[in-house]
Amino acid sequence: MEKDRIVVVPPPYHCFGMVIGNLAATSHGSAIILSGPGFDPRAALRAVSQEKATSLYGVPTMFIAELELPDFGDYDLSSLRSGVMAGSPCPMEVMRKVIDKMHMSEVAICYGMTETSPVSFPTRAGDSVDRCVETVGRVHPPVKGRTVDPSTGETVPRVTAGGFHPPRLLGREGLLGVRRRRPARPSTPTAGCTPGTSPSWIRTGTRRSPAASTRW
């Protein structure tokens, strides 16, 4: 990642732009390229072309806007190799165009939220297009996830359908991987985490389907 040149399109006041885009790049010595004060598809592609970027970040609608530009073919995107797409599911057609027309063969799909700092599950380089668009990838260390029965809150086997909980270690309970302990507090039906000290879990509200091996 040290030699990467990343066009960071997501705004820095969101965890995507700040943590994945700026902090992760800075900590690995990557170049950060800001295409403008706000999202503009032409400015993003111009930055890739002029700065010979190797990676482009964004949500699916940003990539769709870039691909649909009438002058899309005028931008040299041959330097691109990778990128991150997150925020919502990516349609199969869009993923194929990102890989074929934007040369982003190593694009990753990341599942998470600001409260989990933000990525819980990413896909990985070499994953098939089907895996990228139909799953959220695999857990990455030191993250743990669990599936619960929505009606009882009890943990169920991973191959069972249910709701997904990543740990609060990724949220306010943790700082740079150091877990903080907090006293137990009452739980309510709308609480963001289960009661207890450590570890506790983020309730995402996400439903997952049965999946084999390490896929979610």
Confidence of residue 182 (pLDDT cuts 50, 70, 90): very low
Q: Which tokens sit at 170? A: 């990724």
Mean pLDDT score across all residues of the chain: 79
131-159 confidence digits (pLDDT tens)? 888 887 887 777 777 777 777 878 777 65
For the cut 70, the answer to whether the pLDDT of residue 114 exceeds it is: yes
User: Average of pLDDT values for 15-24?
Assistant: 92
Sign (positive or negative) of CA dihedral 12, 16, 18, 24: negative
Spatial CB neighbours of 121, under 8 Å, sequence gap ≥ 6: 110, 111, 112, 136, 137, 138, 139, 140, 143, 145, 166, 216
Residue with tokens 């009882």: 152
CA distance 145 to 216: 10
Mean pLDDT in residue range 170-182: 35
Proportion of the chain above pLDDT 90, given as a percent = 45
In the structure, what pLDDT confidence band is assigned to residue 10 with cuts at 50, 70 and 90?
Answer: very high
pTM score > 0.85 for this model?
no
**For residue 20, what pLDDT band results from cuts at 50, 70 and 90?**
very high
| Reported confidence tier of residue 75, pLDDT bands at 50, 70, 90 | very high
Q: What is the mean pLDDT of residues 60-85?
A: 97
* Res 211 pLDDT > 70: no
The predicted pLDDT at position 172 comes to: 37
Q: Delineate the domains of the chain, giving CATH numbers in brackets.
A: 5-134 (3.40.50.980), 144-216 (no CATH)
